[in-house]
């Protein structure tokens, strides 16, 4: 029984070997299609590279923005509320007095 199975299987393999798959249609112009595929992949890879670099750099860019924010917040002194108006007003009054007094 097992021998029969083995023999049948060997016959099938032998027949399949005698009748190899016909690849002639696939072979026609195959080089051109492979070349086109390679060009496509290369183009895609170029676009991917730009995108990938932008994506990879995004944490660094975010860190720079954050650092600038922190630096601005810690180094520029905060003016008390209303002081700007007062200074401006006093300057304007002094300028007006000088002008009217003929010093301007």
Q: Which residues bind other proteins (CB under 8 A)?
A: 2, 4-9, 11-21, 23, 25-27, 30-35, 37-38, 41
Q: By C-beta, is 17 or 56 nearer to other proteins?
A: 17
CA distance 8 to 14: 10
Instruction: Work out how close the CB of 10 gets to other proteins at its nearest, in angstroms, rounded to a whole number.
Output: 8
Q: By C-beta, is 9 or 96 nearer to other proteins?
A: 9
Distances (CA, A) of 23 to 14, 31, 44, 64: 19, 14, 29, 58
Query: In sequence order, what are the residues at sequence separation of 6 or more whose Cβ sits closer than 8 angstroms to the Cβ of residue 104?
Result: 95, 98
CA distance 91 to 97: 10
Q: By C-beta, is 32 or 103 nearer to other proteins?
A: 32
Instruction: Work out how close the CB of 47 gets to other proteins at its nearest, in angstroms, rounded to a whole number.
Output: 17
Instruction: Work out how close the CB of 55 gets to other proteins at its nearest, in angstroms, rounded to a whole number.
Output: 22
């Amino acid at each position: 029984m097992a021998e029969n199975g083995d023999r049948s299987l060997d016959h099938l393999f032998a027949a399949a070997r005698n009748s190899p798959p016909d690849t002639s249609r696939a072979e026609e112009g195959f080089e051109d299609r492979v070349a086109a595929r390679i060009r496509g992949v290369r183009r895609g890879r170029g676009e991917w590279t730009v995108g990938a670099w932008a994506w990879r750099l995004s944490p660094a860019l975010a860190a720079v923005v954050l650092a600038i924010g922190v630096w601005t917040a810690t180094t520029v002194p905060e003016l008390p509320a209303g002081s700007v108006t007062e200074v401006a007003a006093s300057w304007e009054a002094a300028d007006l007095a000088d002008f009217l007094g003929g010093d301007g």
